[in-house]
Amino acid sequence: MEEPSNENQRDGVRVLFALASIVIIIGGLKAAAPLLVPVVLAFFLSVLSLPILRVLRTWGVPRFAAVLLTIVVDVGIISPIALVSFNLVNEFQGKVNDYQYKITTKTEEWRTRFEEEHNMKFELEQEKINQYIEGGVKQLLTFLGKTIGVAKDFVFIVIVMIFFLAEAGGFRRKLAAIHRARGPDLERFQSTAKDLQKYLGIKTAISTITAILAGLLTWALDVNFPVLWALVAFIFNYIPAIGSIIASFPPAILALVDHSPTTALFVLLGYLFINMVLGNFIEPMLMGQRFGLSTSVVILSVLFWGWVWGLVGMFLAVPLTMVVKVVLDHSEDLQWLALAMGKREEVLAADALAEPAEPVEPAGEEG
Protein backbone atom coordinates (compact mmCIF):
# COMPACT_ATOMS: atom_id res chain seq x y z
CA MET A 1 0.00 0.00 0.00
CA GLU A 2 1.53 3.29 -1.12
CA GLU A 3 2.05 5.97 1.48
CA PRO A 4 0.87 9.49 0.65
CA SER A 5 3.60 11.67 -0.81
CA ASN A 6 4.98 14.68 1.03
CA GLU A 7 3.37 16.95 -1.55
CA ASN A 8 -0.08 15.47 -0.92
CA GLN A 9 0.44 15.82 2.82
CA ARG A 10 1.40 19.47 2.40
CA ASP A 11 -1.67 20.08 0.23
CA GLY A 12 -3.89 18.46 2.87
CA VAL A 13 -2.37 20.52 5.67
CA ARG A 14 -2.74 23.70 3.60
CA VAL A 15 -6.43 23.02 2.94
CA LEU A 16 -7.07 22.23 6.63
CA PHE A 17 -5.27 25.40 7.64
CA ALA A 18 -7.38 27.42 5.18
CA LEU A 19 -10.62 25.89 6.48
CA ALA A 20 -9.54 26.53 10.09
CA SER A 21 -8.88 30.15 9.13
CA ILE A 22 -12.41 30.39 7.70
CA VAL A 23 -13.85 29.13 10.99
CA ILE A 24 -11.85 31.75 12.91
CA ILE A 25 -12.97 34.49 10.50
CA ILE A 26 -16.63 33.46 10.89
CA GLY A 27 -16.27 33.57 14.68
CA GLY A 28 -14.74 37.03 14.42
CA LEU A 29 -17.54 38.26 12.14
CA LYS A 30 -20.16 37.03 14.60
CA ALA A 31 -18.37 38.53 17.62
CA ALA A 32 -17.82 41.90 15.90
CA ALA A 33 -21.40 42.15 14.59
CA PRO A 34 -22.28 45.36 16.55
CA LEU A 35 -19.45 47.20 14.76
CA LEU A 36 -19.41 45.48 11.38
CA VAL A 37 -23.13 45.40 10.61
CA PRO A 38 -23.54 49.22 10.40
CA VAL A 39 -20.32 49.47 8.34
CA VAL A 40 -21.45 46.77 5.88
CA LEU A 41 -24.90 48.36 5.66
CA ALA A 42 -23.28 51.72 4.94
CA PHE A 43 -21.14 50.13 2.21
CA PHE A 44 -24.10 48.60 0.38
CA LEU A 45 -26.16 51.78 0.74
CA SER A 46 -23.19 53.65 -0.76
CA VAL A 47 -23.08 51.21 -3.68
CA LEU A 48 -26.81 51.76 -4.20
CA SER A 49 -26.28 55.55 -4.08
CA LEU A 50 -23.44 55.69 -6.61
CA PRO A 51 -25.73 56.46 -9.61
CA ILE A 52 -26.95 59.62 -7.83
CA LEU A 53 -23.35 60.66 -7.17
CA ARG A 54 -22.36 60.02 -10.80
CA VAL A 55 -25.28 62.08 -12.14
CA LEU A 56 -24.35 65.01 -9.90
CA ARG A 57 -20.71 64.77 -10.99
CA THR A 58 -21.83 64.70 -14.64
CA TRP A 59 -23.70 67.94 -14.00
CA GLY A 60 -20.44 69.52 -12.85
CA VAL A 61 -21.12 69.49 -9.09
CA PRO A 62 -17.85 69.39 -7.08
CA ARG A 63 -17.13 66.00 -5.49
CA PHE A 64 -17.61 66.99 -1.85
CA ALA A 65 -20.83 68.86 -2.62
CA ALA A 66 -22.04 65.92 -4.73
CA VAL A 67 -21.36 63.53 -1.84
CA LEU A 68 -23.32 65.73 0.59
CA LEU A 69 -26.22 66.10 -1.86
CA THR A 70 -26.29 62.31 -2.35
CA ILE A 71 -26.49 61.83 1.42
CA VAL A 72 -29.28 64.44 1.60
CA VAL A 73 -31.25 62.53 -1.05
CA ASP A 74 -30.72 59.24 0.82
CA VAL A 75 -31.78 60.75 4.14
CA GLY A 76 -34.78 62.36 2.44
CA ILE A 77 -35.90 58.95 1.19
CA ILE A 78 -35.09 56.86 4.28
CA SER A 79 -36.22 59.25 7.04
CA PRO A 80 -39.95 59.38 6.13
CA ILE A 81 -40.00 55.57 5.72
CA ALA A 82 -38.34 55.10 9.12
CA LEU A 83 -40.70 57.62 10.78
CA VAL A 84 -43.81 56.00 9.33
CA SER A 85 -42.47 52.57 10.31
CA PHE A 86 -41.90 53.66 13.91
CA ASN A 87 -45.41 55.09 14.20
CA LEU A 88 -47.08 52.05 12.61
CA VAL A 89 -45.17 49.54 14.73
CA ASN A 90 -46.02 51.48 17.92
CA GLU A 91 -49.69 51.63 16.89
CA PHE A 92 -49.69 47.91 16.11
CA GLN A 93 -48.03 47.10 19.44
CA GLY A 94 -50.81 49.02 21.20
CA LYS A 95 -53.38 46.62 19.75
CA VAL A 96 -51.39 43.41 20.14
CA ASN A 97 -53.22 42.37 23.31
CA ASP A 98 -56.59 42.81 21.60
CA TYR A 99 -55.51 40.69 18.65
CA GLN A 100 -54.01 38.07 20.92
CA TYR A 101 -57.33 37.84 22.79
CA LYS A 102 -59.23 37.53 19.48
CA ILE A 103 -56.90 34.78 18.25
CA THR A 104 -57.29 32.87 21.54
CA THR A 105 -61.08 33.19 21.39
CA LYS A 106 -61.17 32.05 17.75
CA THR A 107 -59.01 29.00 18.44
CA GLU A 108 -61.26 28.02 21.37
CA GLU A 109 -64.31 28.28 19.09
CA TRP A 110 -62.66 26.23 16.35
CA ARG A 111 -61.49 23.63 18.84
CA THR A 112 -64.98 23.24 20.33
CA ARG A 113 -66.56 23.00 16.88
CA PHE A 114 -63.99 20.42 15.77
CA GLU A 115 -64.58 18.25 18.86
CA GLU A 116 -68.38 18.44 18.42
CA GLU A 117 -68.39 17.69 14.69
CA HIS A 118 -65.93 14.80 14.88
CA ASN A 119 -66.99 13.51 18.31
CA MET A 120 -63.42 13.33 19.52
CA LYS A 121 -61.17 15.06 22.02
CA PHE A 122 -58.56 17.41 20.65
CA GLU A 123 -55.23 16.21 22.02
CA LEU A 124 -53.53 19.58 22.37
CA GLU A 125 -54.64 21.48 25.48
CA GLN A 126 -55.93 25.03 25.09
CA GLU A 127 -53.27 26.32 27.46
CA LYS A 128 -50.59 24.99 25.12
CA ILE A 129 -52.33 26.59 22.16
CA ASN A 130 -52.41 29.94 23.96
CA GLN A 131 -48.68 29.61 24.69
CA TYR A 132 -47.98 29.01 21.00
CA ILE A 133 -50.09 32.03 20.06
CA GLU A 134 -48.29 34.23 22.57
CA GLY A 135 -44.93 32.98 21.33
CA GLY A 136 -45.87 33.70 17.71
CA VAL A 137 -46.98 37.25 18.55
CA LYS A 138 -43.71 37.84 20.40
CA GLN A 139 -41.72 36.54 17.43
CA LEU A 140 -43.56 38.94 15.11
CA LEU A 141 -42.89 41.89 17.41
CA THR A 142 -39.24 40.81 17.69
CA PHE A 143 -38.92 40.71 13.89
CA LEU A 144 -40.46 44.17 13.54
CA GLY A 145 -38.42 45.55 16.43
CA LYS A 146 -35.12 44.26 15.05
CA THR A 147 -35.90 45.57 11.59
CA ILE A 148 -36.74 49.05 12.84
CA GLY A 149 -33.92 48.86 15.41
CA VAL A 150 -31.32 49.19 12.66
CA ALA A 151 -32.24 52.89 12.59
CA LYS A 152 -30.50 53.41 15.95
CA ASP A 153 -27.18 53.35 14.07
CA PHE A 154 -28.47 55.76 11.44
CA VAL A 155 -26.07 58.62 12.25
CA PHE A 156 -23.04 56.31 12.28
CA ILE A 157 -24.16 54.76 8.98
CA VAL A 158 -24.49 58.18 7.35
CA ILE A 159 -20.99 59.22 8.52
CA VAL A 160 -19.44 56.03 7.12
CA MET A 161 -21.36 56.51 3.86
CA ILE A 162 -19.79 59.96 3.44
CA PHE A 163 -16.31 58.43 3.58
CA PHE A 164 -17.21 55.57 1.23
CA LEU A 165 -18.76 57.91 -1.36
CA ALA A 166 -15.83 60.32 -1.10
CA GLU A 167 -13.41 57.47 -1.92
CA ALA A 168 -15.57 55.99 -4.70
CA GLY A 169 -14.13 58.18 -7.43
CA GLY A 170 -10.59 56.85 -7.08
CA PHE A 171 -11.55 53.19 -6.68
CA ARG A 172 -10.68 52.20 -10.24
CA ARG A 173 -7.36 54.06 -10.23
CA LYS A 174 -6.45 52.53 -6.87
CA LEU A 175 -7.02 48.99 -8.18
CA ALA A 176 -4.86 49.73 -11.23
CA ALA A 177 -2.09 51.17 -9.01
CA ILE A 178 -2.13 48.04 -6.82
CA HIS A 179 -1.69 45.85 -9.91
CA ARG A 180 1.15 48.03 -11.25
CA ALA A 181 2.90 47.72 -7.88
CA ARG A 182 3.05 43.93 -8.45
CA GLY A 183 0.05 43.36 -6.23
CA PRO A 184 -2.87 41.05 -7.03
CA ASP A 185 -5.12 41.80 -9.98
CA LEU A 186 -8.28 43.05 -8.27
CA GLU A 187 -10.10 44.11 -11.42
CA ARG A 188 -12.71 41.43 -10.69
CA PHE A 189 -13.78 43.44 -7.64
CA GLN A 190 -14.67 46.34 -9.92
CA SER A 191 -17.03 44.19 -11.98
CA THR A 192 -18.41 42.74 -8.74
CA ALA A 193 -19.17 46.26 -7.50
CA LYS A 194 -21.18 46.85 -10.68
CA ASP A 195 -23.00 43.55 -10.15
CA LEU A 196 -23.79 44.55 -6.56
CA GLN A 197 -25.12 47.89 -7.73
CA LYS A 198 -27.29 46.18 -10.34
CA TYR A 199 -28.54 43.58 -7.87
CA LEU A 200 -29.42 46.14 -5.17
CA GLY A 201 -31.05 48.46 -7.71
CA ILE A 202 -33.23 45.71 -9.22
CA LYS A 203 -34.07 44.29 -5.79
CA THR A 204 -35.11 47.74 -4.53
CA ALA A 205 -37.34 48.32 -7.57
CA ILE A 206 -38.97 44.88 -7.25
CA SER A 207 -39.42 45.37 -3.48
CA THR A 208 -41.09 48.74 -4.10
CA ILE A 209 -43.55 47.22 -6.59
CA THR A 210 -44.17 44.31 -4.18
CA ALA A 211 -44.89 46.75 -1.35
CA ILE A 212 -47.36 48.77 -3.44
CA LEU A 213 -49.24 45.66 -4.57
CA ALA A 214 -49.26 44.14 -1.06
CA GLY A 215 -50.57 47.40 0.38
CA LEU A 216 -53.33 47.61 -2.24
CA LEU A 217 -54.25 43.96 -1.66
CA THR A 218 -54.61 44.29 2.11
CA TRP A 219 -56.44 47.61 1.73
CA ALA A 220 -58.89 46.11 -0.78
CA LEU A 221 -59.57 43.17 1.57
CA ASP A 222 -60.06 45.57 4.51
CA VAL A 223 -57.13 44.18 6.52
CA ASN A 224 -55.99 46.57 9.26
CA PHE A 225 -52.61 48.37 8.90
CA PRO A 226 -52.22 48.01 5.10
CA VAL A 227 -49.34 50.52 5.07
CA LEU A 228 -47.48 48.49 7.72
CA TRP A 229 -47.87 45.29 5.68
CA ALA A 230 -46.67 47.14 2.59
CA LEU A 231 -43.51 48.19 4.48
CA VAL A 232 -43.04 44.65 5.81
CA ALA A 233 -43.37 43.30 2.24
CA PHE A 234 -40.81 45.86 1.03
CA ILE A 235 -38.26 44.99 3.71
CA PHE A 236 -38.67 41.22 3.69
CA ASN A 237 -38.61 40.99 -0.10
CA TYR A 238 -34.84 41.57 0.20
CA ILE A 239 -34.57 38.15 1.87
CA PRO A 240 -34.38 35.58 -0.95
CA ALA A 241 -36.68 32.54 -0.98
CA ILE A 242 -38.26 32.90 2.49
CA GLY A 243 -38.73 36.65 2.95
CA SER A 244 -41.95 36.96 0.97
CA ILE A 245 -43.40 33.91 2.74
CA ILE A 246 -42.71 35.47 6.14
CA ALA A 247 -44.26 38.78 5.04
CA SER A 248 -47.55 37.11 4.05
CA PHE A 249 -48.34 35.48 7.41
CA PRO A 250 -49.11 38.52 9.66
CA PRO A 251 -51.75 40.10 7.36
CA ALA A 252 -53.26 36.67 6.71
CA ILE A 253 -53.61 36.04 10.45
CA LEU A 254 -55.22 39.47 10.94
CA ALA A 255 -57.62 38.74 8.08
CA LEU A 256 -58.48 35.43 9.73
CA VAL A 257 -59.15 37.09 13.08
CA ASP A 258 -61.01 40.19 11.86
CA HIS A 259 -62.90 38.63 8.95
CA SER A 260 -62.99 34.98 7.88
CA PRO A 261 -60.87 32.07 6.66
CA THR A 262 -61.89 32.98 3.10
CA THR A 263 -60.42 36.48 3.45
CA ALA A 264 -57.22 35.02 4.91
CA LEU A 265 -57.01 32.62 1.97
CA PHE A 266 -57.42 35.52 -0.47
CA VAL A 267 -54.55 37.33 1.28
CA LEU A 268 -52.26 34.30 0.98
CA LEU A 269 -53.23 33.70 -2.66
CA GLY A 270 -52.71 37.39 -3.44
CA TYR A 271 -49.22 37.37 -1.93
CA LEU A 272 -48.48 34.11 -3.75
CA PHE A 273 -49.54 35.61 -7.08
CA ILE A 274 -47.54 38.82 -6.52
CA ASN A 275 -44.38 36.98 -5.59
CA MET A 276 -44.82 34.35 -8.29
CA VAL A 277 -45.05 36.98 -11.03
CA LEU A 278 -42.39 39.35 -9.69
CA GLY A 279 -40.05 36.84 -8.05
CA ASN A 280 -40.19 34.00 -10.60
CA PHE A 281 -40.55 35.94 -13.86
CA ILE A 282 -39.78 39.66 -13.71
CA GLU A 283 -36.84 39.57 -11.27
CA PRO A 284 -34.94 36.65 -12.90
CA MET A 285 -35.49 38.24 -16.32
CA LEU A 286 -33.90 41.50 -15.10
CA MET A 287 -31.09 39.82 -13.16
CA GLY A 288 -30.11 37.31 -15.81
CA GLN A 289 -27.98 34.49 -14.37
CA ARG A 290 -28.41 35.61 -10.74
CA PHE A 291 -24.77 36.75 -10.67
CA GLY A 292 -23.20 33.30 -10.73
CA LEU A 293 -24.69 31.86 -7.51
CA SER A 294 -26.57 28.57 -7.52
CA THR A 295 -30.06 28.47 -6.03
CA SER A 296 -29.02 26.18 -3.17
CA VAL A 297 -26.15 28.53 -2.29
CA VAL A 298 -28.57 31.48 -2.21
CA ILE A 299 -30.84 29.66 0.26
CA LEU A 300 -27.93 28.48 2.41
CA SER A 301 -26.45 31.98 2.38
CA VAL A 302 -29.69 33.37 3.86
CA LEU A 303 -29.50 30.86 6.72
CA PHE A 304 -25.77 31.39 7.26
CA TRP A 305 -25.70 35.19 7.23
CA GLY A 306 -28.90 35.26 9.29
CA TRP A 307 -27.07 33.20 11.93
CA VAL A 308 -23.98 35.44 11.77
CA TRP A 309 -25.57 38.91 11.57
CA GLY A 310 -29.29 38.45 12.19
CA LEU A 311 -31.87 40.16 10.00
CA VAL A 312 -29.38 42.50 8.33
CA GLY A 313 -27.34 39.45 7.35
CA MET A 314 -30.46 37.87 5.81
CA PHE A 315 -31.23 41.06 3.88
CA LEU A 316 -27.68 41.28 2.48
CA ALA A 317 -27.09 37.53 2.14
CA VAL A 318 -26.75 37.49 -1.66
CA PRO A 319 -24.47 40.57 -1.98
CA LEU A 320 -22.27 39.33 0.87
CA THR A 321 -22.01 35.87 -0.70
CA MET A 322 -21.10 37.43 -4.04
CA VAL A 323 -18.19 39.25 -2.39
CA VAL A 324 -17.10 36.08 -0.57
CA LYS A 325 -17.16 34.15 -3.85
CA VAL A 326 -14.85 36.69 -5.49
CA VAL A 327 -12.44 36.53 -2.52
CA LEU A 328 -12.37 32.73 -2.65
CA ASP A 329 -11.86 32.83 -6.41
CA HIS A 330 -8.58 34.74 -5.84
CA SER A 331 -7.25 32.07 -3.46
CA GLU A 332 -5.45 29.09 -4.97
CA ASP A 333 -6.27 26.89 -1.97
CA LEU A 334 -9.96 27.83 -1.79
CA GLN A 335 -10.78 28.41 -5.45
CA TRP A 336 -12.63 25.09 -5.46
CA LEU A 337 -15.09 26.55 -2.93
CA ALA A 338 -15.83 29.47 -5.26
CA LEU A 339 -16.43 26.96 -8.07
CA ALA A 340 -18.76 24.93 -5.84
CA MET A 341 -20.79 28.09 -5.12
CA GLY A 342 -21.25 28.87 -8.81
CA LYS A 343 -23.99 27.90 -11.22
CA ARG A 344 -23.88 24.81 -13.39
CA GLU A 345 -22.78 26.82 -16.45
CA GLU A 346 -19.72 28.09 -14.56
CA VAL A 347 -18.73 24.54 -13.56
CA LEU A 348 -19.11 23.29 -17.13
CA ALA A 349 -16.96 26.16 -18.40
CA ALA A 350 -14.27 25.30 -15.84
CA ASP A 351 -14.39 21.65 -16.89
CA ALA A 352 -14.01 22.62 -20.53
CA LEU A 353 -10.92 24.68 -19.72
CA ALA A 354 -9.47 21.89 -17.59
CA GLU A 355 -9.85 19.18 -20.25
CA PRO A 356 -6.64 18.81 -22.25
CA ALA A 357 -7.01 19.21 -25.94
CA GLU A 358 -6.70 16.03 -27.96
CA PRO A 359 -3.32 15.80 -29.63
CA VAL A 360 -3.43 16.35 -33.35
CA GLU A 361 -1.38 13.85 -35.29
CA PRO A 362 0.90 15.47 -37.82
CA ALA A 363 -0.05 14.80 -41.37
CA GLY A 364 2.28 12.26 -42.81
CA GLU A 365 2.75 10.55 -46.09
CA GLU A 366 0.78 7.41 -46.64
CA GLY A 367 2.95 4.67 -47.54
For the segment 322-350, what is each residue's pLDDT rounded down to a tens digit? 888 877 776 666 677 777 777 655 555 55
Give the Cβ contact number of residue 362 at 10 Å.
5
pLDDT tens digits for range 128-138: 655 655 666 66
In this prediction, residue 115 has a pLDDT band, given cuts at 50, 70 and 90, of: low
- Residues 51 and 283: their CA atoms lie apart, in Å, by 20
**Mean pLDDT along residues 226-230:** 89
CA distances from 121 to 77, 124, 128, 205 (A): 55, 9, 15, 50
Q: Summarize pLDDT for 62-97 with one digit per residue, the tens.
A: 888 888 898 888 888 877 777 777 777 777 777 777
What is the rounded average pLDDT of the residues 278-291? 71
**pTM, to two decimals:** 0.73
pLDDT of amino acid 280:
76
| Whether the predicted pLDDT of 365 surpasses 50 | no
Average pLDDT value for residue range 19-30: 84
What average pLDDT does range 239-260 have in this prediction? 84
Residue ranges of the alpha helices (H) in 150-242?
154-168, 171-180, 187-220, 226-236
Q: For the chain, what is the mean pLDDT?
A: 76
Residue 363 backbone zone (phi > 0: left; psi -120 to 50: alpha; other: beta): beta
Q: Which residue has the higher pLDDT, 194 or 73?
A: 73
Q: What is the mean pLDDT of residues 280-292?
A: 69
CA atoms within 13 A on the CB side of 153: 18
Predicted confidence band at 273 (pLDDT cuts at 50, 70, 90)?
very high
Q: For residue 359, give the DSSP letter.
A: P
Q: Does the structure show a pLDDT above 80 at 276?
A: yes
- pLDDT > 70: what percent of the chain? 68
Asked if the model's pLDDT at residue 210 lies above 80, the reply is: yes
CA distances to 102, 141, 214, 258, 310 from 98, in Å: 6, 14, 24, 11, 29
Could you give the 3-state DSSP secondary structure of residue 38?
helix
- Comparison of pLDDT for 288 and 309, the residue scoring more: 309
Q: Nearest CA to 242 among 291, 196, 279?
A: 279
Higher pLDDT, 143 or 297: 297
CB of 73 within 8 A of CB of 52?
Answer: yes
Does residue 367 surpass a pLDDT of 50?
no
User: Residue 366: which pLDDT band, with cuts at 50, 70 and 90?
Assistant: very low
Residues making up the chain, counted from first to last: 367
Residue 254 pLDDT > 80: yes
